[in-house]
Amino acid sequence: MQRLLFIRLHVDGCAAEVWINGLPVFSVGPGAPLAGRAIHEFVFAGANRVELRVAPDRGALVAPGEFGRLPCVAESAARAHLRLALVREGRGIDDENARVLAERGWHVGAGEPWDAPLQQAFDVDLPVNFQRWRWPEAPLIPEPEAARPLVQRFLQQTAAQLSRGDVEGLLTAARIKIEEVAAAYQRTPADETARLRAHLLRLHAAGALTVPAPAPGALLLRPCADGRLLDCLLTDGGPALRALVSPEAGGAGWALPLRIALVDKRIHVLR
């Protein structure tokens, strides 16, 4: 693959999250203000809906409610900037040969009022031609809270399995995601499965895969994909499954975003 669709998000003094076609892609905040990634598995040929969401912190981004529900006064200047570009593989998004497809910015001055979470949404036509992804056709989840016991059991089981180095349950639940990510980046499902398995086993061998099960009161099931998937989060805005890493293992964190579908009371990780 010679070119990658890449998105970068940078904030100062706030938190922000990027959504594409109804799916949360990633968020940044005061502790980690800059992130970026390739986004092939989130986009379609033609028009795509991109959203920039901004709030004082990550927890405010995911709390239930409507946009603009929280009146704020900026203690200091805050800003967020999103850039979507087509870049050559191995090059950065600021490379002179990168083709910028969309760019959005937001800022507020110190002492100025604003309402959070704030949303900027826009459409962008993308020069891509992927297969039809399966997540837009997943069954609707009309009552997310009714699925809580099933999701809680899945997360508990997955956390316990990962903590003891058993990665096969997660790989099975994520089979569709693995197949589609492989297709998005011109890899084979077998190679993508092997890559993910090897990565998780390396983490376990390094002592970096101790994953606590999320406490029921801390688990947030956020609907996405027009109500077809649930984003499994903790109330601080981060993924529900994350590793505890000892300083002896390097102290680096690790987290696993999970956007799940429910089909005949079975959980499938689709993104």
Task: Please give the model's pTM, rounded to 2 decimal places.
Answer: 0.92
Contact between 192 and 178 under an 8 Å Cβ cutoff? The reply is yes
Of the given ranges (18-32, 197-211, 233-247), which has the lowest mean pLDDT? 233-247
pLDDT digits (tens, 9 = 90+) for 156-200: 999 999 999 999 999 999 999 999 999 999 999 999 999 999 999
Nearest of 137, 138, 156 to residue 148 by alpha carbon = 156
Nearest of 259, 238, 212 to residue 59 by alpha carbon = 238
CA distances from 201 to 29, 163, 197, 214 (A): 29, 10, 6, 22
> Angle between the 175-184 and 189-205 helix axes, to the nearest 10 degrees?
110
pLDDT of the residue at 245: 60
Task: Check residue 215 and report its DSSP letter.
Answer: P
User: Using CA atoms, how far apart are residues 20 and 225, in angstroms rounded to an integer?
Assistant: 9
Rounded mean pLDDT, 107-134: 92
pLDDT digits (tens, 9 = 90+) for 222-266: 999 999 999 999 998 899 999 876 555 555 568 899 999 999 889
For residue 263, give every residue at least 6 positions away whose Cβ sits within 8 Å of its Cβ, in sequence order, or none. 138, 139
Domain residue ranges of the chain, discontinuous segments joined by +: 3-126, 135-269
